[in-house]
Amino acid sequence: MADQLETMYSAQGEQIRTGTATGARRWWVWAVAALILAAIGYFLLTRNSAGHATSGDSPAMARQSVPVTAEPARLGDFQRYLTALGAVTPFNTVTVRTRVDGQLDSVNFKEGQLVKQGELLAQIDPRPYQAALEQAQGQLAKDKASAEYARVTLARDKELLRENVISQDTIDSQSSIVGQYQGAIETDQANIDTAKLNLIYSRITSPLTGRIGLRLVDPGNIVHATDTNGIAVITQLQPIAVLFSIPEDDLPKVLSDLKLGNQLPVDAWDRDLREKLAAGSLLTYDNQIDPTTGTIRLKATFPNLDNSLFPNQFVNMKLLVETDRGAVIAPAAAVQRSSIGTFVYVVKPDQTVDVRKVTVTAMQGDIASIKDGLQVGEKVVTDGVDKLQQGSRVRVQSAPGGASAQITHQ
């Protein structure tokens, strides 16, 4: 009996353990299934939300205001420029050299100073040339005295000839002597002039008004007229020229104005086109086109009173060739391009934008000339256009500076 009870209880315990293990396995299966269903639901929910967020036709997006910057179109004069890179070139550059040989006694200038025409720059020892002058003057006095004696002798011989005391050959010989002394006097006078000129050349003066460079010879050295380096270099700064090139296709625009006698304004700007250095005018153009580059060289002149332009300096040139009077001007940043052509976003009174197709006549720097499609006073979006479409609601923020009829930079 005891054995039967033990066997029965053992069988029941095994059944209970088997049932418990089976239940545990079923719980883990249900837990994993629930996690999978939750992940699928979250994925579908986020995808649906993203689709609604990116849909352009969403009412929520349509009601949302996009912050933009807008500026009004204005009426003004649109100036068209030809731009090019130019090099500042002085009208005159002179290497100061000595014209006589001798010792350099003194240098009367400071390196880099402005000198005027005729100002004394250096002095060469004048004593040899002073002595040569005095020697030539003494020779002249001697020859004049000899010439006078020869003329007196000739007059006496002519009296003797009339009395048949001397022959005609004597008269001819004496006349020749008078002529020789007359030639010697002229030679002496030429020697005096040469000595005076050399004495003047011993004083080296400035041949023009300009800025003198570094000294190339120190006082005490022997200088010669054949020296290649010279004493210093003087460069004319006022006025000064700028050479630049334009494409040959733009030459007719320049020639048409020059033939009418118009003076074309030219501005010189710094390397970054942020600061205008000087204002001048077109002087002339070259007589041929460079076939290798298809360009022609132009020369402009600048007063350069403030010495803002320096020789061999590179500057950006702006040559004014045409001015459109009374043009509709808008910021260039507002002009957009797409498959439909050129357009702008116009802010309507209800604070929505309208895609407006426009015709752009020309663009110069940060402004554009609009031929049609835009009216004066209408605001165009200049910043934030990447978030706009037809009918988008906007919140306009004024720009720090509006479009200008004058081009200040490019």
Q: Inform me whether the pLDDT recorded for 44 exceeds 90.
A: no
Under the banding of pLDDT at 50, 70 and 90, the label for residue 34 is low
The answer to whether the peptide bond before residue 247 is cis (omega within 30 degrees of 0) is: no
Q: pLDDT band at 57, cuts 50/70/90?
A: very low
pLDDT attached to residue 16 = 43
DSSP state, residue 65 = P
Cα dist. 20→17, 26, 156 in Å? 5, 10, 174
Q: How far apart are CA 46 and CA 383, in angstroms?
A: 32
Band of pLDDT at residue 33, cut at 50, 70 and 90: low
Closest CA to 233 of 91, 105, 92: 92
Q: Tell me how far apart the alpha carbons of residues 291 and 258 are, in angstroms, rounded to a whole number.
A: 23
Predicted pLDDT at 213: 94
Report the first-to-last Cα separation within the chain, whole angstroms: 114
What is d(CA 134, CA 128) in angstroms, rounded to the nearest whole number? 10
Cα 26 from Cα 273, distance rounded (Å)? 79
Burial of 165 (0-12, 13-18, 19+ CB in 10 A): exposed
Q: What is the pLDDT of residue 31?
A: 65
* Among 116-120, 141-145, 368-372, the least confident range: 368-372
Q: Could you tell me which residues come within 8 angstroms of residue 78 by beta carbon, excluding any fewer than 6 positions away?
A: 323, 324, 327, 329, 361, 362, 364, 367, 369, 405
Q: What is the pLDDT at residue 200?
A: 95
Give the per-residue pLDDT at 279.
95
Residue 105 burial (CB count, 10 A): 15
For the chain, domains (ranges, CATH) are 61-77+326-398 (2.40.420.20), 82-91+239-324 (2.40.30.170), 99-234 (2.40.50.100)
Q: Residue 182 class from Cβ within 10 Å (0-12 exposed, 13-18 middle, 19+ buried)?
A: middle
Contact between residue 374 and residue 330 where contact means Cβ atoms under 8 Å apart: yes
Of 113-122, 239-248, 251-260, 341-350, minimum mean pLDDT range: 251-260
What is the C-alpha to C-alpha distance for residues 213 and 110, in angstroms, rounded to an integer? Answer: 9
Determine which of 66-75, 95-104, 242-251, 302-311 has the lowest per-residue pLDDT on average.
Answer: 66-75
265-269/276-285 β-pairing: antiparallel
- Segment 167-183, tens digit of pLDDT: 888 888 888 988 998 99
Higher pLDDT pick, 1 / 124: 124
Rounded to 5°, the CA angle 52-53-59 comes to 70
Amino acid found at 159: E
The pLDDT, as a whole number, for residue 398 is: 65
Rounded Cα distance between 28 and 21, Å, is 11
Q: What is the pLDDT of residue 408?
A: 35
Weakest mean pLDDT among 35-39, 148-152, 165-169, 299-303: 35-39
Give the residue from 304, 299, 297 showing the smallest Cα distance to 235: 304
Q: Is the pLDDT of residue 12 over 70?
A: no
> Which among 250, 320, 275, 284 has a CA at the least distance from the CA of 89?
284
